[in-house]
Structure 1
Amino acid sequence: MKTRHYWVLMLSILIMVSCNKKEDGTLEVEVYETSASGNKLKKVTEFAKQGNAVEIKIVPEEEFQTITGFGGAFTESSAYLLNQLGKENRQKIIDAYFSEDGANYSLTRTHMNSCDFSISNYSYSPVEGDKALEHFSIKEDQDDLIPMIKEAMAASKHGFKIFASPWTAAPWMKDNNNWVGGKLLPEYYDTWALFFSKYVDAYKAEGIDIWGFTVENEPLGNGNNWESMHFTPKEMTDFVQNHLGPKLEADGKGNLKILGYDQNREHLKEWVDEMFRDEASSKYFAGTAIHWYASTFEVFPEELQYAHKKAPDKLLIQSEACVDAEIPVWQDDAWYWEKEATDWGWEWAPEEDKHLHPKYAPVNRYARDIIGCLNNWVDGWVDWNMVLDTKGGPNWFKNWCIAPVIVDPEKDEVYFTPLFYTMAHFSKYIRPGAVKIGIENSDRTLLITAAKNPDGSIAVVVFNQDKEEMHFQLSLGELKKVISIDAQAIQTIIVQPN
């Protein structure tokens, strides 16, 4: 009897403590912070005292888009570099990106045929005139890309989606017979549709399921620099409606996601107007893919809102972004928080567009863009290369860029830049199937977004761009919590379900 009374007493105390937690009005949260001062996804439990605090209110009853995922791209360059590293560092990178303890990437991209971040030009259909693609082969991917993807799959507890993008068809299918520029000849439209179907089968044979495609990377071209193939909005829509969509459907692959466009946001209106011009064209498009290179400073919210309103039930996925036209800075976290980096437009944009390409802090651009995208109906955000070397390559065109993870293969060294942790603030804590929810924010200085996960937890991401610490009161219903955020810092705040 004494034992029974003891456990009844203990249960009563636990119930009282639980009730007091609710009655004292404190919102129970876990806070993780990455900052210019050196925090890297650090769990923060103590907050500085403050005066007036910014009011931030979570509004879960306001629901927006369902999240598809966050992640990066499998490129030949990244996979090639992993092959140069020792076993320990190779696994360290794979786990950092894909394990549950790491960034837990859930949405990824890869290229079909070669791209600028390949070691050389190549095609899976190398034999000229092979309209039936009898010589189709993905052997070019078997030494690097496929092993990298398989290792990522092994490290991922919940799996991830892969969509593939072609930069160009083989030159023999094009009107200019060149890797760069030109258009797909109409006589090869059916062959090119077959190419997508064969790609899915070839990767399936390797144990890799493809979730979907973008029809063409950057159909408007890239200044005739590296692999490209041009489509107008009507040409791409007609190809999907009359060739690609029906072919995948006929081959039992109608569940694959086809994303149209796949270039910069400033042209979104004309593309979605054509893609979703009627029921027949809309049928095969699962959504639209976008890039940020028109400006890594401006989100283009009007264009994003327009795209959503035009096709509210379709996906809207940021399929590529990176700090381009820069050589990576090695082992210097401070640089990634400083307003020193530039992009291609700093030198090359037309004068009337220069204001869209200012100097910027790389962390700021990632954090600002992802938050801005989520707050304007974007449901997925995919970074470009996962791994590059200290020169920003390798790639055949010498188109140097920065990745979240930089390696020195000669020394077998790895550098996780602040961009890696910035990505993880979203990918690790906002999971596929989460629903973007409302936020009321009394201070525009703090950039904020929030999503409710399938398990009921709420992830609130806060970015403080200022060089001064800030304080805010986060509330959910009657529950409140005062939190301080470091200067130049990003936080993910997890609110557990009741």
Structure 2
Amino acid sequence: MARGEFWLLLSVATSVFATSSRPCASRDFGHGSVVCVCNATYCDEVELLGEVTAGNAVVFTSSKSGRRLERSVLTSSSSSPGNALKYTVNTATKMQTMMGFGAAFTDAVGINLVRLPPAMQDQILSQYFSPSGHGYTIGRVPMASTDFSTHEYSYDDIPLDFDWLHFNLTAEDFLYKIPFISKAIQLTNDSLNLFASPWSAPGWMKPSGHMKGGGSLLGDPSGPYYVSWANYFVKFFEAYHAQGIDFWGLTVQNEPMSGADPNYPWQTMYFSAAMERDFVKNHLGPALKASSLTKDLKTFRAKLQILKDPLAAQYVSGIAMHWYEDWAVPATVLSVTHARHPDYFILATEACTAYLPGQAKPILGDWDRAEQYANDVIQDVENWVSGWVDWNFVLDMQGGPNWVNNTVDSPIIVNADAVEYYKQPMWHALGHFSRFVKPGAVRVELNVSKKNSDLEGVAFLNEDGTKTVVLLNKSLKNSDPITVSDSSSSDNVYSIALEPSSIVTIVFR
């Protein structure tokens, strides 16, 4: 009998929570909470939302105690407990329209998927991208290698090939990216919005001769290196189009400021705000617009100086940011950014836990990391972020592979030796948003009768007229009674108490 063959043969710490159509086969690794174990013969399924009828709210709950997107129904009343903390949804005050949620198709993701049987590969993709799964609608695709590859490579490593005569996709694209991107596109019924991000130009275009480490493009900003680098983008999109994959957008450069460090340990390239502005204005924007394939691509970047230049801004559709300095910079700066540039969407394009030196990498069953994800989504969206994109959606037991050992954690961890994988609490935390807040939903005002630092929430009006409220209880104890209602329907009040360390999604009419 193969290891991991039957879910019933899990460790003695395994138990089953029987409230979903196929309950979580939970396993406790001793890290504070549980994971849901999936193998070749069994994997849990989260119950569907189902019909939302007047006077009844559908509730999904996850908690440190082991609940995982468990479905229940609340019936409304015409009043609330006197001591209740009251959340009131005001759909008359509308903010940003949501673009959706997603994750990145890195080499590491593909490498871990191919280590599993094909049926399990398909299962993971379905749990992320199908309408009955998390319903992801955004995918990030690195242009060539990143630290989450097994080595450094570009699409043309022939020095001085400015015309890209030797440009070719690599084995990594054909083995680890294209097959899974294609399946994800099918699962989303062709509604997957893909955007590309480069980490570095080929090494021969930088002073060091390597993609690894800092440095900017060689030569004058109007010279052949800059012109050729802009055309590299077009070549990339043409190559993927030839494989049946088209893109929605791109970022100009992954974390360009890291390129100021010549000893940066993995692929990067430096652009100052002024350099990026001029590159977009003089080279990249015109190159993309000149091609019928790329003329409508959305370009987005974090360098706001670009938006102050009308000639550069005409090529930009949105603003991108990562979460790695959230501990130092409050999310309210995003509201300031929106106020200054209200015509540009804001997209959170990368997040992961365990990215700091010295942090334990995958921690199986860690609830704190799920809470970090939920907190970040709420804070970002409350400050005008329209979409949220995770980093690797699958990694191995060490948090890789990663060719420079920059390993991190992930919502799904693959144990290829046991032919099983583990759905982390982070996976369920993201599902509390992505399953119930679809593209086209609008964030609406959520008023609370009294501030409580342990509780956070955000509200949405969905296109079908239902409302979604997501609440996070960071406290280690039960919340006081909470009510949720719509300001236009005071007779329909939904009362609930949030258990310690929990996330709750409430959908009602």
TM-score with structure 2 setting the length: 0.82
> Counterpart in 2 of 1:431?
438
* Whole-angstrom distance in 2 between the partners of 1:175 and 1:69: 39
Corresponding letter in the other structure for 1:370: V
> How far off its partner does 1:158 sit?
5.9
Higher helix share: 1
Q: How does 1:399-418 map to 2 (within 5 A)?
A: 399-418=406-425
> How far off its partner does 1:28 sit?
2.5
* Whole-angstrom distance in 2 between the partners of 1:317 and 1:175: 32
Q: Contact 1:464–1:486 (CA<8 Å) still a contact in 2? A: yes
> Counterpart in 2 of 1:312?
342
Q: Aligned match of 2:497 in 484, 489, 492? A: 484
> Counterpart in 1 of 2:286?
246
> Counterpart in 1 of 2:215?
182
> Counterpart in 2 of 1:233?
273
Q: How does 1:19-418 map to 2 (within 5 A)?
A: 27-45=55-73, 52-140=83-171, 141-157=173-189, 159-179=191-211, 180-185=213-218, 186=221, 187-221=224-258, 224-252=264-292, 253-261=294-302, 271-272=303-304, 274-295=305-326, 297=327, 300-323=330-353, 324-325=355-356, 326-329=359-362, 332-333=364-365, 336-337=366-367, 361-418=368-425
> How far off its partner does 1:184 sit?
1.1
* Whole-angstrom distance in 2 between the partners of 1:456 and 1:197: 41
Detail structure 1 runs of 4+ shifted over 3 Å in the superposition: 325-330
Residues 327 and 393 of structure 1, relative CA distance in 2, 3 Å threshold: farther
> How far off its partner does 1:41 sit?
0.8
> Which runs of 5 or more residues in structure 2 are unaligned?
1-51
Q: Contact 2:477–2:499 (CA<8 Å) still a contact in 1? A: yes
* Whole-angstrom distance in 2 between the partners of 1:123 and 1:158: 28
Q: Contact 2:135–2:188 (CA<8 Å) still a contact in 1? A: yes
Q: The residue matched to 1:142 in structure 2 has which SS?
A: helix
User: What whole-Å deviation, never above 9, does each CA across 1:186-240 have from its counterpart, x for those lacking one?
Assistant: 3311111111111111111111111110000000016511100000001001100
> Counterpart in 2 of 1:449?
458
> How far off its partner does 1:44 sit?
2.2
> How far off its partner does 1:279 sit?
1.9
Corresponding letter in the other structure for 2:493: K
* Whole-angstrom distance in 2 between the partners of 1:158 and 1:258: 21
Q: Contact 1:327–1:391 (CA<8 Å) still a contact in 2? A: no
* Whole-angstrom distance in 2 between the partners of 1:417 and 1:299: 27
User: What whole-Å deviation, never above 9, does each CA across 1:79-106 have from its counterpart, x for those lacking one?
Assistant: 0111111122212211111111111101
* Whole-angstrom distance in 1 between the partners of 2:346 and 2:282: 23
Q: Contact 2:58–2:74 (CA<8 Å) still a contact in 1? A: no
Is 1:495 the equivalent of 2:504?
Answer: no
Q: The residue matched to 2:403 in structure 1 has which SS?
A: coil
Of stretches 486-495 and 384-393 in structure 1, the one that deviates more from structure 2 is: 486-495
Q: The residue matched to 1:362 in structure 2 has which SS?
A: helix
* Whole-angstrom distance in 1 between the partners of 2:473 and 2:162: 55
* Whole-angstrom distance in 1 between the partners of 2:174 and 2:157: 16
> How far off its partner does 1:160 sit?
1.4
Corresponding letter in the other structure for 2:335: Q
Corresponding letter in the other structure for 1:86: P
Of stretches 234-243 and 454-463 in structure 1, the one that deviates more from structure 2 is: 454-463
* Whole-angstrom distance in 1 between the partners of 2:340 and 2:313: 11
* Whole-angstrom distance in 2 between the partners of 1:123 and 1:369: 33
Of stretches 220-229 and 231-240 in structure 1, the one that deviates more from structure 2 is: 220-229
> How far off its partner does 1:372 sit?
0.3
Corresponding letter in the other structure for 1:247: A
Residues 299 and 457 of structure 1, relative CA distance in 2, 3 Å threshold: farther
> How far off its partner does 1:484 sit?
2.2
> What fraction of aligned residue pairs are identical, expressed as a percent?
35
Q: Contact 2:362–2:408 (CA<8 Å) still a contact in 1? A: no
> How far off its partner does 1:46 sit?
6.1
> How far off its partner does 1:112 sit?
0.3
Of stretches 250-259 and 160-169 in structure 1, the one that deviates more from structure 2 is: 250-259
* Whole-angstrom distance in 2 between the partners of 1:91 and 1:447: 35
* Whole-angstrom distance in 2 between the partners of 1:329 and 1:177: 34
* Whole-angstrom distance in 1 between the partners of 2:331 and 2:111: 37
Q: Contact 2:362–2:410 (CA<8 Å) still a contact in 1? A: no
TM-score with structure 1 setting the length: 0.84
> Counterpart in 2 of 1:468?
477
> Which runs of 5 or more residues in structure 1 are unaligned?
1-20, 262-270, 338-360
